[in-house]
A and B are shown apart, each in its own frame.
Chain A
């Protein structure tokens, strides 16, 4: 399911799942101002190409299509002053046949942004029989925009089979050279005995 859906469902579903939380969340959640202003800058620039996933204290999530990810990331670096990536995560969603690639971006140069972690997420198609590097599971690499993603994207490629176009070095990183199975962090790869 897409993350916009998740946010909409959240407000209605919390009541039945967690009693303690429900008490706290009856107070209307005020979206933090600074975070909102940042997220709105992206939305006013890109319109429907980039949507807000959520706005929480110190955390913003922006969802973008993979065709626009380079433009959105360049804007985030140049106009919002986020300057490095903390991590790149791949999340596998076999039901919707998609893999989500999540960049957590932070800033060292802008003191105002020291608290903030911007989550930039995009989705790439997923194939049932993966052929890493040669199938449609691919997206442009952000390495030219955020230099620090180099090793993170390499890890994401071998663990989930997401090929990053334009990445200078798409070799294996953590897995053994003779690994012949499917990318291990996909949901259909299961641990022995589980």
Chain B
């Protein structure tokens, strides 16, 4: 799991040589979290992740608001992927309230969540690029992200915090010329994505830095319960969209992207391949979407669930995202638990960083597709 150390370095015994570094919580290389790293010279001896700097108690706040009031604040943990965090919430509430979702709304949801996956992944890719010193890779995704943001803005009216999904469908229908506009932009976006391959993924400097660093084996990925791109880059074929299809994903034509290497390079590549699949899904969904119809089931005012619970999950940009809602028959949920991919992937950070060079820390850290705000909730 760890790379072999050069001869002469004995990590455990040389206590007097070990220095403790606090990376974060405001260090740009760690996002809004702290990593307590012990180094021996240039090598990391141990890493203790310390999240919680941006903990906001979303789960507690959800207990004081009813099912509709919860929509805008529950997307705050990950505003760049807001459709995908509201998706499992809406599915779970629909289970509790027994709501049917109109067919057209299901397709609109799929399109919105795939667009949002691209928005998130491009943002993450930009950060990954800049921390590896590749400033073109910061500029390009930030620019191309606007294509998807424009489309989502046309759908929902907001650039980033959409609050577009509601229990029972989506908030409003898409504008009149949306389909041709979406097709045109996705076609162009796909062409742009192919250029990323040449400028970033085939870049020899990037390959040298990321190939073979932070290798996670298949067995460890399963044992540590990782999810999303971390899991799929380690050779485990698991995508919630395929394994437990929600809404209309079982009608759509796409493949799960799996790589075997398990290193930082593979982990950074899986989300990129996912984006190409997202384009396929969006095009297919636009083709199969009913041309007209209702997009939302009317809710009764202050809807109440029974004395039951629901656990639903979707595949977000960072892996499986689950919502566990316990209802006690009141308009407010009794308990909401958000099980996020970032928090689940956090556990492998100490294992991957141990024995790495300190300079490779950002390459490993950001390849985990980790979003501190989401992990803290």
Contact = CB atoms under 8 A, between A and B. Distances in A.
A70 interface: no
A27 to B, nearest CB: 13
Interface residues of B, number: 42
Contact of B306 (A13, A83, A119, A172): A13
Contacts of A91: 326, 334-335
B19 to A, nearest CB: 21
Tell me the interface secondary structure of chain A in the complex: mixed
Interface string B365-377: 0000000000011
B308 A10 contact: yes
B30 interface: no
B244 A84 contact: no
A131 interface: no
Contacts of A173: 50-52
Given A108-B231, A148-B344, A83 B223 contact: yes
Given A6-B307, A83-B223, A184 B52 contact: no
B67 interface: no
Interface residues of A, number: 48
A174 B376 contact: yes
Interface stretch (A18-26, A31-39, A41-49): A18-26
Contacts of B97: 18, 21
A174 B223 contact: no
Interface string A83-122: 1111101011000000000101000110000110101000
A138 to B, nearest CB: 20
A185 B170 CA distance: 31
Interface in A5-22: 6, 9-10, 13-14, 17-18, 20-21
Interface string B319-345: 010101010010000110101000110
- Residue from A14, A87, A173 with most neighbouring chain B CB atoms (10 Å): A87
Contacts, number: 107
A176 B159 CA distance: 33
A176 B231 CA distance: 30
A29 interface: no
A117 B244 CA distance: 10
Nearest to A89: B337
B60 A175 contact: no
Nearest to B323: A87
A115 B238 CA distance: 10
A112 to B, nearest CB: 11
Nearest to B65: A194
Contacts of B231: 108
Given A10-B307, A59-B311, A148 B224 contact: yes
A58 B343 contact: no
B238 A191 contact: no
Contacts of B61: 191
A174 B51 contact: yes
Contacts of A151: 343, 346-347
Contacts of B377: 174
A80 B168 CA distance: 35
Contact of B98 (A24, A147, A184, A185): A24
B8 interface: no
Interface string A128-159: 00000000000000000011111110010000
B59 A18 contact: no
Contacts of B98: 18, 20-21, 24-25
A114 B245 CA distance: 11
Nearest to A6: B307
Centre residue among B225, B243, B329, B346 by max chain A CB count within 10 A: B225
B243 A114 contact: yes
Contact of A104 (B224, B304, B339, B343): B339
A12 to B, nearest CB: 11
B310 to A, nearest CB: 8
Contacts of A86: 225, 313, 320, 322, 339, 344
A149 B243 CA distance: 22
Interface string B50-85: 111001010111001000000000000000000000
A87 B52 contact: no
Given A14-B306, A115-B244, A117-B311, 11 more contacts: A17-B306, A20-B98, A21-B97, A24-B98, A84-B223, A104-B322, A149-B225, A152-B343, A173-B50, A174-B52, A191-B61
The list of the 5 closest CB pairs from A to B, nearest first, reads A148-B225, A21-B98, A84-B225, A87-B339, A174-B52
